Amino acid sequence: MSYLKGNIKSYLDSLGAAVPVPGGGSAAALVAALGVSLLLKSTAFTLRKKIQAEKAAGLKKLESRLKKLSAKLEALVDEDARAYSALDAVFKMPRNDLARKKRREAAFKKASIVLMNIHELAFEGLSLSVCLAIGEAGMLLPDVLAGGIFLESAMKSVSFTAGRNLVCVRDSMFRKHAAKLLRSADKKSGAMLGRLTRNVERLLHD
């Protein structure tokens, strides 16, 4: 089943229903994708204006990167749901099933990888949002800030859930490496959002 190809109401109904999927990871991927879409709106409108050729070229490069990010995040809306469906299937296996432990480890690791991908892409989107807080964005500056807020929120949500999943992964090297990556990006994201907020507020009051 592809939630992405359905309508928003159906997705929200599924998200609020007593069913295993979609869940927080899928929702975080969607929130991050919405954030990127707001950034794309800003680039699209800004590129319609008469701006310096050098600045326009830079914006087009940003737009290209944002479109790639958007496509990847959109795919993760469904990929997270598939990963957690597999995990749910493991939980339903009899506890005395010899294959359960191995499948449980693999399922938790896969679910963690999907969440880390969402986290990494949201972090990249947040870093690009700072580059879009420019005077030429004009009335789109609040959308740029909203996009950044969405992206940081997705990171925070995913970081918490991934941390819980990693506790259940027995592979210590994988667990420690993943936790280190999450902590490093989370530490930087707050500063990035603060910088974006200050830039947008300054430009709106100039």
CATH for 33: 1.20.120.680
State whether residue 5 is helix, strand or coil: coil
DSSP H helices, the chain, are 8-15, 24-47, 53-91, 100-131, 141-167, 172-205
- How far is Cα of residue 189 from the mean position of the Cα atoms in its chain? 12
Q: What is the mean pLDDT of residues 95-101?
A: 87
For helices 141-167 and 24-47, what crossing angle results, to 10°? 160
In a domain, 64, yes or no: yes
Q: Which residues contact 143 (CB under 8 A, 6 or more apart)?
A: 38, 39, 41, 42
In a domain, 12, yes or no: no
* Structural domains of the chain, count: 1
For residue 84, the enclosing domain spans: 21-205
In a domain, 16, yes or no: no
In a domain, 2, yes or no: no
Task: Encode pLDDT of 138-178 as tens digits.
Answer: 889 999 999 999 999 999 999 999 999 999 898 999 999 99
* pLDDT the model gives residue 2: 78
Task: Encode pLDDT of 181-194 as tens digits.
Answer: 999 999 999 999 99
CA distance readout (Å), 73 to 81, 117, 183: 13, 9, 21
* pLDDT the model gives residue 1: 65
CA 127 – CA 124 distance, rounded (Å): 5
State whether residue 52 is helix, strand or coil: coil
In a domain, 8, yes or no: no
In a domain, 98, yes or no: yes
Structure confidence at residue 55 as a pLDDT band (50, 70, 90): confident
CA 52, 58, 60, 63 dihedral sign is negative
Structure tokens at 11: 């997705």
In a domain, 192, yes or no: yes
Residue whose pair of structure tokens reads 């949500």 in the numeric block: 157
In a domain, 110, yes or no: yes
